[in-house]
Amino acid sequence: MKNAEEITHCIQRIALNDSQVALKELYTYYFYDLLRYSMLYTSNPRDAEEVVSDTFFMVWNNRKQLLDIKNFNSYIYTVAVSYTHLRAHET
């Protein structure tokens, strides 16, 4: 399990060095919790997996702004919920 300092270090590596390795570390750390959380909204494992993938795609695309985020944990769950709501409106 990662502590807050390790998560912050991953975020810094992503934002400052475009580290895909650090992104994968965060993905691995958050994957199952985000998947379970997304399942509360989607009730479909495949949709929940796509929500998690979309969430990390957004993290990567916005990596230069990651250092401005005060609470990454809240941010990542907020992004996931946004994607679950978008997915619900698509169906």
d(CA 19, CA 47): 27
Low-confidence ranges of the chain (pLDDT < 70): 1, 88-91
Q: What's the pTM value of the predicted model, to 2 decimals?
A: 0.88
Per-residue pLDDT, 60:
97
d(CA 50, CA 21): 20
Residue pointed to by tokens 């965060």: 26
Residue 19 phi, psi (nearest 5): -80, 110
Per-residue pLDDT, 2:
72
d(CA 14, CA 68): 13
Per-residue pLDDT, 58:
95
Per-residue pLDDT, 88:
65
